[in-house]
Amino acid sequence: MNQLEVSNDTSVLEVPAALDGKGRLTDDCVRKALTVMDAHGLVVLTDLLSEEQADVGAELIRQTIDDPDRKRGAFASETDNHYMRRDFCSLPSTPLVTSFAAGLCQRLEGILARYCDRSHPLLEVTTLTSYLGSSHQYIHRDPGGVISIFAAVEDVSEQQGGTVFVPSTHMYDGAERKHSGNAYALMELFRIRCNCRILVYNLKKLWRMRKDRAAPLAPGEFLDRVFSSKWDEHQPNLLRFVLGKNSQFSLRMLSPRTLWKLYRHRKALGSLFHLVQTAPRKGTVILYLSDLLHAGPDNRSPHPRRLFSMSIARDSIEPKRWHAGYSPHPTLTERPIFYGDLLDSPLSASRGHRAPLP
């Protein structure tokens, strides 16, 4: 298998944030951002947060990470979380967290209004920290009908594992008709091809980590990541891969027919789709439609990668589906917050241009 080919050129996805006197995106900026969202399924808004605003978000994350009673998430990779390769947790609905989330929503209202009604629930507010030695996630789609927001509260380098996206693979009415009506089938083939390479990449990396002093394996970690029977969709777990127990990528996806298609369409796949890795600077905010193909890469640097994240439903959502696909903090489950509540939040409303959000 060839190595995963990833571009670092995000220029077509970027829109510099332009704010009006109330600290909200200008109409012109909203128009540009929506054009990029429509075409690619995501937009990278640079300089949306000031240094001070990003610092507030970073402090929220620090406080959460330092809390021994924090609510660790089951998403991303439970095994990585267990071995402290990642620390993904839900943030509680404290006034400070809610205010930060509200400030972001109010600033982004022009874009979010296209997708969210005031009655749509906030599904989760989380912090995504990854450390050296984490696995590269498989390329996947999050549950559909959601818009997710990542805020870089400090610089994130490529080495630290800025999120990888496959632009223009989001799903919408008519999308399947692209590429002679084969768009979704070709996207799935591309995903399988990428995930073959990610499996090999992760296995090689784990093998090297056996003798790596910078990121030594914990007792039992190798077995847990490669041969465990425990559920985890983003580890190079050979046992679950062979048994077909990984819904993201398993041997059952590599039927002779699929292998033939991968070979037959190899050139088309290479020209139609490509992986782009983001490396957001402090203050950059990324919005993406949840059904866009993406993955959280491994952190290849000694510096932790931290992101603030929140997701809002683009439709009404069944509680069962909500809790299966997202990780609301118990305080959010107890007292749901809706998009309209965030827009109305007095904590951050009418704050001036570049003022701290809370």
Binding site for Fe ion (CB under 5 A): 142
Task: Name the residue nearer to Fe ion (CB basis): 142 or 298.
Answer: 142
Q: What are phi and psi of 209, to 5 degrees?
A: -65, -15
Identity of residue 13: L
Task: Name the residue nearer to Fe ion (CB basis): 80 or 142.
Answer: 142
Q: How many CA atoms lie within 13 A of 44 on its CB side?
A: 21
Q: What are phi and psi of 121, to 5 degrees?
A: -80, 150
**Closest CA relative to residue 342, chosen from 64, 147, 163, 142:** 147
Beta-sheet pairing, 6-7 with 275-277: parallel
Q: Within a 10 A sphere around the Cβ of 149, how many other Cβ atoms?
A: 23
Residues in a beta bridge with 149:
287, 310
Residue 180 CB, nearest approach to Fe ion (Å): 29
| Residue whose beta carbon is closest to Fe ion | 142
Residue 143 CB, nearest approach to Fe ion (Å): 9
Residue 190 CB, nearest approach to Fe ion (Å): 17
Query: Residue 315 and residue 63: Cα distance in Å, rounded?
Result: 32
Residue 257 CB, nearest approach to Fe ion (Å): 28
Residue 86 CB, nearest approach to Fe ion (Å): 13
Task: Collapse the DSSP code of 141 into the 3-class scheme (helix H, G, I; strand E, B; otherwise coil) and give the result.
Answer: coil
Residue 76 CB, nearest approach to Fe ion (Å): 7
Task: Name the residue nearer to Fe ion (CB basis): 142 or 291.
Answer: 142
Task: Name the residue nearer to Fe ion (CB basis): 87 or 142.
Answer: 142
Sequence-ordered alpha helix ranges (H) in 244-307: 256-264, 266-272
Task: Name the residue nearer to Fe ion (CB basis): 115 or 138.
Answer: 138
Task: Name the residue nearer to Fe ion (CB basis): 88 or 339.
Answer: 88
